[in-house]
Amino acid sequence: MRTRYRHAERSGSGVSAAVAVVGIHESSPRSRQAHDSVRGRVAMEEYAAVIGNLTSLRVTRLSLADCTETDVVDRLCAVDANVGIALVVGMNAAHSQAIARHVDGRGGPAVVTEIDLATATMAASVLSTLSHRGISPSRGRVILACPERAPLLGPVLIECGVGSVTSWSIHDAQDFSLRRLLTHNDVLVDLSDSESRVGGEIEGSITLGSDPVAAVSLALTGLLDALDRRTLPRVDVPVLAACARALNHLETSGLQPSR
């Protein structure tokens, strides 16, 4: 198993730390995933720019076209030994989690996915929203619409002390409308596609908005710093919950920088 890389300033290796930004996409313009593929390539460049501007980490780019889950794992495990962290963009939640798990099992770099960043960011938004409404987390009641798009969000919210988390899917709409459920809950997190929000115009619902890279940039830099300094083996529920609490503290303390 490969030894995980430690930051040059602490390891004395004389090599600067590096993070690989991995954009996964389909090359066929007729692919059902073509739109997401284009976004994946653009997001890869945007994330690379954020890392380059806001951290001291060296950035490498790895654009992977038409790759299976196994292909992605193999490529990540073959990156340069000084690449200690890989940010993966362009795969859905199920594939992203599987890639992170397999890469970790083979001793590859610590994997952070875009969905991890969204999870920490939205969990922080839930904590902030409850606070602004004078509701303690333990008494907070949260609905997650389309939770399969961020499957760790529910566990992260529970780890953050949120009292009640209810999952809602499109299939529940006939018997339980979101508006009806909200009369008995405090916060809606709408994880549905930005072009067809299931929450419609429900006031106060939490989404990532139209610019997810900007929305998660603070979570990105915080997680990268923690992984680089502490060489955490993986991003998991406790790590994401700690990130969410830190983001919420920055916001409630007025220390969060303007984007």
Q: How far apart are the C-alpha atoms of 7 and 14, rounded to whole Å? A: 9
Question: What CA–CA distance (Å, rounded) separates 229 from 161?
Answer: 26
- The pLDDT of residue 136 is 97
> What percent of the chain lies above the pLDDT cut of 90?
58
Place of tokens 């915080």: 222
pLDDT at 12: 40
How far is Cα 207 from Cα 192, in angstroms, rounded to an integer?
9
Cβ distance 182 to 143 under 8 Å?
A: yes
Alpha-helical (H) ranges within the chain are 8-11, 34-54, 69-77, 93-105, 114-132, 153-159, 178-182, 212-230, 237-252
* pTM for the whole structure: 0.85
Q: What is the pLDDT of residue 2?
A: 40
* pLDDT for residue 256: 61
Query: Across all residues in the chain, what is the average pLDDT?
Result: 84
Average the pLDDT over each of 93-97, 156-160, 231-235 and give the range with the smallest value.
231-235
Which architecture does CATH list for 117-210?
3-Layer(aba) Sandwich (3.40)
What residues contact 203, with CB distance under 8 A and at least 6 apart? none
Would you kindly state where each structural domain of the chain is located, as residue ranges? 18-113+213-234, 117-210
What pLDDT does residue 30 have? 53
Quote the pLDDT of residue 258.
47
Same CATH topology for 18-113+213-234 and 117-210?
Answer: yes
The stretch 82-94 carries a mean pLDDT of 91
Cα–Cα distance, 153 to 120 (Å, whole number): 8
Comparing 205 with 197, which gets the higher pLDDT?
A: 205
Fold type of domain 18-113+213-234: Rossmann fold (3.40.50)
